[in-house]
Amino acid sequence: MSSLSNGGKEDTKGEVGASVRSHRRQPELFSREIPPASPKLNCQCTTIPILDIDEQPEWSQTLHDPEPEEQDYAESEKPEQPAKPRVAPPPKAANPVPVPPKPKGPAGPAVSNSLDLQTKGKVDRAVRDVTKTIDDIHGDGNLTKIPIKNSYGKRAQGAFWREQFNNRPIRIDISPNSDHVKLNVAHEIGHLLDYNGIPRGAIHGSNRSFMLDPQFSGWFKAVKESEAIKSIEALKGKTHGEYLKPGAEQTTRWTLDRKHINYLLSENEMWARSYAQYIATKSGDSEMATELDKQRASAYGQVYNSQWTDKDFEPIGKEIDKLFQGLGWIK
Ligand SMILES: [Zn+2]
Three-state secondary structure readout of the chain: CCCCCCHHHHHHHHHHHHHHHHCCCCHHHHCCCCCCCCEEECCCCCCCCCCCHHHCCCHHHCCCCCCCCCCHHHHHHCCCCCCCCCCCCCCCCCCCCCCCCCCCCECCCCHHHHEEEECCHHHHHHHHHHHHHHHHHCCCCCCCCEEEEECCCCCCCEEEEEECCCCCEEEEEECCCCCCHHHHHHHHHHHHHHHHHCCCCCCCCCCCCCCCCHHHHHHHHHHHCCHHHHHHHHHCCCCEEEECCCCCCCCEEEECCHHHHHHHHCHHHHHHHHHHHHHHHHHCCHHHHHHHHHHHHCHHHHHHCCCCCHHHHHHHHHHHHHHHHHCCCEC
- Ligand 1 centre and the CA of 148: distance in Å? 15
Q: What's residue 290's pLDDT? A: 97
Q: What's residue 202's pLDDT? A: 55
Residues 6+ apart with CB under 8 A from 59: 179, 294, 297, 298
Of 62, 9, 43, residue with least CA distance to 257: 9
Q: What's residue 45's pLDDT? A: 57
Point out the residues of the chain with pLDDT beneath 50. 1-43, 46-85, 92-93
- Ligand 1 centre and the CA of 57: distance in Å? 24
- Ligand 1 centre and the CA of 12: distance in Å? 12
- Ligand 1 centre and the CA of 226: distance in Å? 19
Of 145, 225, 238, 220, residue with least CA distance to 189: 145
- Ligand 1 centre and the CA of 161: distance in Å? 10
- Ligand 1 centre and the CA of 99: distance in Å? 36
- Ligand 1 centre and the CA of 296: distance in Å? 17
Q: What's residue 279's pLDDT? A: 97
- Ligand 1 centre and the CA of 35: distance in Å? 23
Q: What's residue 143's pLDDT? A: 78
Q: With contact defined as beta carbons under 8 Å apart, do 29 and 23 qualify?
A: yes
- Ligand 1 centre and the CA of 184: distance in Å? 8
- Ligand 1 centre and the CA of 101: distance in Å? 32
- Ligand 1 centre and the CA of 320: distance in Å? 17
Q: What's residue 107's pLDDT? A: 79
- Ligand 1 centre and the CA of 187: distance in Å? 6
Spell out the domain ranges in the chain: 7-66+102-206+213-326
The three-point CA angle 32-41-29 to 5° equals 45
- Ligand 1 centre and the CA of 114: distance in Å? 18
* pLDDT tens string 35-87: 233 444 444 554 333 322 222 222 222 222 222 223 333 333 334 444 444 55
Q: What's residue 52's pLDDT? A: 24
- Ligand 1 centre and the CA of 279: distance in Å? 15
Q: What's residue 139's pLDDT? A: 87
Q: What's residue 94's pLDDT? A: 52
- Ligand 1 centre and the CA of 272: distance in Å? 6
- Ligand 1 centre and the CA of 192: distance in Å? 10
- Ligand 1 centre and the CA of 175: distance in Å? 13
